[in-house]
Amino acid sequence: MSIENKVAEYSKKAIEVLYGVAVEEKDIQIQATRKEFEGDVTLVVFPFVKLARKSPEQVALEIGAYLKQEIDLVQDFNAVKGFLNLVIDDSYYLNQFSTSIAKGALFGFNISGGLGHVMVEYSSPNTNKPLHLGHLRNNFLGYSVAEILKAQGHKVSRVQVINDRGIHICKSMLAWKKFANGETPESSGLKGDKLVGKYYVAFDQAYKKEIEMLVQKGMDKELAEKEAPILKEAQEMLIKWEQKDKEVYALWEKMNSWVYSGFDVSYKAMGVDFDKLYFESITYLKGRDEVLKGVEKGVFFKKEDGSVWVDLTEDGMDQKLLLRADGTSVYMTQDIGTAILRFEDFPDLEGIVYTVGNEQEYHFKVLFLILEKLGYAWAKNCYHLSYGMVDLPSGKMKSREGTVVDADDLMEEMKQTAAQITEELGKLEGLEENEKEQLFHSIGMASLKYFLLKVEPRKGMMFNPEESIDFTGNTGPFIQYTHARIRSILSKYGREVVTINTNQSILLPEKQIIQQLLIYPAMIAQGAKEHNPAVIANYVYDLVKLFNHFYQSTPILKVDDEKVLEFRIALSQMVANVIKSGMGLLGIDVPERM
């Protein structure tokens, strides 16, 4: 039994004995003692003050005296207002640590399995443009949440839905047809996704010129935006695509194939992958059929122009379009079809996590409610992992204006910066060129991933490349460097420690490290529950800070007492293992040397 559970159990007994009343387990609040006070475990006594009819401090002192008498491991206690701080004997932490070493476990944490099947959707790009900085946050979040859920014991499937149809796709296609003169990735030397994105920007430029010309001729700007010839052509192309027009469909297949090849290169560099791909061009048909069934059931209704809607006003929302008057689908149609198809593909699936920006929060509230109205009980297990946008010092990104930070360019830039900094540190002796390249990529990606994941998903953030790759502070490279430092120590020692002597005293920094290691399983559970990789990122950083304080203040290898030496080596081993495990949950590699 953990010390927290034991304190909770005896605290409940103390209240019954001291004050003659029974309390529920939910009223017992145990937390780690704040760093500015003496103690290891703290009991919050405020909930019991009215029952005892005494001051918070008096209640804390009385319960503390009871716990010290009944629990051998409670060495001492102090009361700070309504908080009872308990000092736990070092032997408890040494025994916990010794048991973990013997089992080879990260303080009892092992992937046990047995939890439900969860699907995590992320990336889900459009095939009219390359991936950008916002996609990096999306991919890193989705991949990490999938890893954390898997570590907690869930069966996990990683998927993406590729938005390969719609007016935005037709805009790139039409611009290529008009302006490209047959340009291809091979002839241009551009990645396929970048070539297609180039013509998405070209469409927008031509569209704006046409609007300007119409306005100059006296047309209202709002009307001009609807009547611009190139936009009407794109709309006609979309209708032809849905009708499977041979020429339009062939162009669509060709340009999409270029984009998929480009995406594959980007995903490999990011270190993310997928178990299954869904394509909007297929799932929208499923959605359209489901919408028409919903009309028959009376869940949806048709307007006089033939468009199909759902009325959600009684649920505090509005009326939502599901099929246009011309029969073409909207995003909601596709998402309805995709969700249903996924539960048909995976009969044991229990829920879906959608990693999508916070501008789509209303969309997902509507989607989940529609699925419930269609009778799908699993709709309540669908979760929108909403995240804030990534801004730059220069402002927000706009892909159609070509003002985005390209994902490939940014990853390469971070790699080059990592190479420059690492070369300056001068610790690359003995590494082959391919090993250096791998190291530079690892450090660059750690900078990016950690910076984007250490912030809670719901918060917007400003991306600062220079700050992200600093080798000091709360950064990926700093954590990687600490891991490499520990591996160097272990390499010098030369062998693994599998047992320690528990009959010894430990220093405060050593005790603090063990306490931090002990909460690792709880951090994984919290990260899984909240779908929040920042929990893991900041936990690992706190562990690294504790170890670095220990390293700077305490000799590890240069000690005469063999049992102290073995303990400190074992402690270093476990810290390195947890760093590697925690960073792995973020999708980050930790090199053996830097």
The pLDDT tens digits of the residues spanning 262-320 come to: 999 999 999 999 999 999 999 999 999 999 999 999 999 999 999 999 999 999 999 99
Segments forming the whole domain that contains residue 37: 3-88
pLDDT of 547-563, one tens digit each?
A: 999 999 999 999 999 99
Chain-centroid distance, C-alpha 293: 36
3-class DSSP string for 543-584: HHHHHHHHHHHCCCCCCCCHHHHHHHHHHHHHHHHHHHHHHH
Contacts of 581 by beta carbon, 8 Å cutoff, 6+ apart: 106, 109, 520
Q: What CATH number does residue 512 fall under?
A: 1.10.730.10
Residues 302 and 241 in one domain: yes
Residues 391 and 441 in one domain: no
Residues 272 and 243 in one domain: yes
Name which of 139, 125, 255 is nearest 199 in CA terms. Answer: 255
Q: Which residues pair with 383 in a beta bridge?
A: 353
pLDDT of 388-425, one tens digit each?
A: 998 876 654 444 444 578 999 999 999 999 999 988 87
Tell whether 594 is covered by a domain. Answer: no
3-class DSSP string for 32-78: ECCCCCCCCEEEECHHHHHHHCCCHHHHHHHHHHHHHHHCCCEEEEE
For residue 112, name the pLDDT band (cuts at 50, 70, 90). Answer: low
The answer to whether the beta carbons of residues 392 and 405 sit under 8 Å apart is yes
Q: What CATH number does residue 56 fall under?
A: 3.30.1360.70
pLDDT of res. 162? 95
DSSP 347: T
Tell whether 591 is covered by a domain. Answer: no
Taking phi first (over 0 means left), then psi (-120 to 50 degrees means alpha), and beta for anything else, what does residue 395 get? left
Tell whether 103 is covered by a domain. Answer: no
Which of these three, 367, 384, 401, is where a domain ends? Answer: 401
Residues 375 and 286 in one domain: yes
Tell whether 111 is covered by a domain. Answer: no
Q: What tokens appear for 279 in the block? A: 């394509």
Q: Which residues pair with 351 in a beta bridge?
A: 118
Residues 48 and 187 in one domain: no
Name which of 280, 277, 349, 287 is nearest 122 in CA terms. Answer: 277
For residue 103, name the pLDDT band (cuts at 50, 70, 90). Answer: confident
CA gap 562, 566 in Å, rounded: 6
Whether 206 shows a pLDDT value over 70: the answer reads yes
Which of these three, 88, 111, 144, is where a domain ends? Answer: 88
For residue 261, name the pLDDT band (cuts at 50, 70, 90). Answer: very high
Range of weakest confidence among 24-33, 105-114, 186-195, 220-229: 105-114
Residues 253 and 311 in one domain: yes
Name which of 318, 327, 319, 238 is nearest 291 in CA terms. Answer: 327
Residues 207 and 276 in one domain: yes
Q: How many domains does the chain have?
A: 3
pLDDT of res. 416? 94
Residues 11 and 81 in one domain: yes
What does the pLDDT average to over 45-69?
96
Instruction: Provide the angle, in degrees to the nearest 10, between the axes of the packed helices 229-242 and 246-270.
Output: 90
Predicted structure pTM score: 0.92
Give the start-end residues of each E strand in 443-546: 461-462
pLDDT of res. 460? 93
pLDDT of res. 397? 42
For residue 105, name the pLDDT band (cuts at 50, 70, 90). Answer: low
Q: What is the mean pLDDT of the chain?
A: 93
pLDDT of res. 399? 44
Residues 383 and 499 in one domain: no
Tell whether 593 is covered by a domain. Answer: no
Name which of 237, 238, 239, 241 is nearest 249 in CA terms. Answer: 241
How far CA 288 is from CA of 265, 298, 318, 330, 343, in Å, comes to: 33, 15, 20, 9, 17
Residues 41 and 139 in one domain: no
The answer to whether the beta carbons of residues 85 and 496 sit under 8 Å apart is no
pLDDT of res. 425? 79
Q: Phi and psi for 352 in degrees, rounded to 5?
A: -130, 135
